[in-house]
Structure 1
Amino acid sequence: MDWDKLRIFHAVADAGSLTHAGDVLQLSQSAVSRQVRALEEMLGTTLFHRHARGLILTEQGELLFDATSAMSRKLEGASARIRDSEENVMGELKVTTTVGFGSLWLAPRLVKLYEKFPDLKIDLMLEERVLDLPMREADVAIRMKEPSQSDLIRRRLLNIRMRLYATQAYLDKAGIPSSMDDLSRHRLVCQKADQPQVAAGARLIQEIMAQNICSTLTVNNYFGVLQGVLANVGIGVLPDYLIVDHQGLVRVLPEIESGEVPVFLAYPEELRQTRRVAAFRDFVLEEIQSYRRQKIDALAP
């Protein structure tokens, strides 16, 4: 089968338009159309339904697009491994994690990775949606639950809990709660229980909200919650990994916390030998070890 025709077919199917595919391939619309027609004649089938708004794959076209997508992912993986040299780590690495962990823990530490590998290009995608690693929506993920896909390499990094924190300035002004009932007299800074977040955190928020909290500030991510707490707005529900970098936070009501939340690093099996992935994995593991040591020091009397 003609590889060039398959490449053009894949671009058209991905773009849903001959014109857009031509722009990507730097070919004229007529040249793209000729190659698609030639492929259809070669296969003896129609690959696209054509209409005024664009192109829609036929059932046969869907089958072929699945095959070319798999080929594309394999070629990308092979290309990445070829580009990686014994001495250098370079090129783009797509990393996905949650907004909170990515902005509050990972991003501030990346300078150390760039110091070792200055030619690395990291595309850091922060969102609560779980991106599909086998489909190469991202190369590496750090997630607050164990990935379910069987064809992923995964490693448990640590366990975290959501706890209550405030600044000393806020507590000096508003008083220190001694029981769950006392929280009704304080302002709570947190995410809404129905917003995308780990289930353990949502349950803790529901439990606290049951105390008839009169005043709240709700933010849709932990970065915003932290900023509210640091600004002395109230008592915040925050992940405990913050205590290393924000040692001015004071834990409130130590008996109140969420269940354990596991944090996993995961990447596709086919990227196991890619030096960019290996460099990022080793960097994260080193930082986790350093974080554990700092956490012990921070909690020491």
Structure 2
Amino acid sequence: MDWDKLRIFHAVADAGSLTHAGDVLHLSQSAVSRQIRALEESLNTTLFHRHARGLILTEQGELLFDATSSMNKRLEAAAARIRDSEEEVFGSLRVTTTTGFGSLWLAPRLAKLYEKYPDLNIDLMLEERVLDLPMREADVAIRMKEPSQADLVRKRLMSVWMRLYASPEYLEQHGTPQSLDDLENHRLICQRTDSTQVGAGQVFVQRLLTYDVKSTLNVNNYFGVLQAVINNLGIGVLPHYVIEDFPRAVRVLPDEESGEIPVFLAYPEELRQSRRIAAFRDFVQEEIIAHRRQLRENV
């Protein structure tokens, strides 16, 4: 099968348009169209349905696009490994983690990584969905549970607990609860129990809601919960690492917390020798060690 035609097919399928694919490939629309027709003739099938708004893959086209997508990801991985054979750390690194951890812990610390490796380009993907690392949806992940996907290098970084916090102003106005029964007189700020989140956090919130909480504010990520807490809206359920950077927040009911949540760093086995991965892994570990040392000194 002609590799050049497959490359052009992949660009067309990805763009959904002969014209847009031509712009990406620096080819005329007619040249792209000829290559697609030739590929369809060689396969004796129709790969696209044509209509006024663009192109839609046929069932056969979907099968071929899946294959070319997999090929493209493998080629990108090979190119990354070749680039990583150089002495310097540079190029793109796609990092995936949760919205809360990425926005509240990781992003504020990245300046140190860029200072050390100014030619590194990080694509930070913050979402609760678990991306497929072996299929190269991302290069490296920080996850709130041990990864179950095969062919991954994994390292446990630390543990997290969900706890209750409020602002001094809120507690001064509404009082400090002395037991879980007192939550009925307060507003609880948390993620919805049906939203994607770590299991231990979900169980903790479900337990809190059994105490006849009359007012709640549901937010779909911990960044929003934090903003509500520091703006005096109520008592929030937050990971303990968040509050360490907001020392004015007061821990409420200090005997109450979720189960332990392990935090893992993971990346594909084929990137084990990647200098970019090693630089990011070492940076995260160094930041965790430095943070622990600072906490001990402040005790």
- Per-residue deviation, 1:250: 2.1
- After superposition, residues 89-100 of structure 1 pair within 5 angstroms as 89-100=89-100
**Paired residue type of 1:8:** I
How much does 1:202 deviate? Answer: 1.9
The CA RMSD measured in Å over matched residues stands at 2.1
Q: Name the count of aligned residue pairs.
A: 298
Query: What corresponds to 1:168 in structure 2?
Result: 168
Q: In 2, distance between residues paired with 1:275 and 1:210? A: 49
| 2:223 counterpart letter in structure 1 | F
SS of the aligned residue for 1:9 comes to helix
Asked whether the equivalents of residues 49 and 58 of structure 2 are also in contact (C-alpha less than 8 Å), the reply is no
1:238-257 aligned at under 5 Å gives the runs 238-257=238-257
Residue deviations 1:25-44 (CA, integer Å, cap 9, x gap): 121221112112223334x4
Instruction: Judge conservation of contact 2:195–2:220 (CA < 8 Å) in 1.
Output: yes
Q: For 1:242 and 1:15, how far apart are their aligned partners in 2? A: 40
Separation in structure 2 between the aligned mates of residue 132 and residue 21 of structure 1, nearest angstrom: 26
Kept in 1: contact 2:142–2:264 (CA 8 A): yes
Partner in structure 1 of residue 152 of structure 2: 152
Distance 1:58 1:173, change over 3 A: closer
**Structure 2: unaligned runs, 5 residues or longer:** none
| Residue of structure 2 in register with 1:15 after alignment | 15
8 Å CA contact 2:48, 2:61 repeated in 1:
no
1:68-217 residue pairs with structure 2 within 5 A? 68-84=68-84, 86-217=86-217
1:230 CA displacement: 1.6
Aligned mates of 2:144, 2:23 — CA distance in 1: 39
Please list every run of at least 4 consecutive aligned residues from structure 1 whose deviation after the TM superposition is greater than 6 angstroms: none
Q: Partners of 2:34 and 2:200 in 1: how far apart?
A: 56
Rounded to whole Å, the distance in 1 between the matches of 2:65 and 2:214 is: 55
CA distance in 1, matches of 2:40, 2:243: 61
Matches within 5 A, 1:224-235: 224-235=224-235
CA distance in 2, matches of 1:160, 1:296: 17
> Aligned with 1:256: secondary structure?
coil
The answer for the alignment partner of 1:288 in structure 2 is 288
1:45–1:60 CA contact under 8 A, matched in 2: no
Partners of 1:168 and 1:115 in 2: how far apart? 36
Query: Structure 2: how far apart are the matches of 1:247 and 1:21?
Result: 52
CA distance in 1: counterparts of 2:166 and 2:293, whole angstroms: 23
Q: Distance in 2 between matches of 1:62 and 1:191?
A: 37
Partner of 1:28 in structure 2? 28
Q: List alignment gaps of at least 5 residues for structure 1.
A: none
Q: What's the % identity of the aligned pairs?
A: 71
- Residue 19 of structure 2 aligns with an amino acid whose one-letter code is T
Moved more, 208-217 or 237-246: 208-217
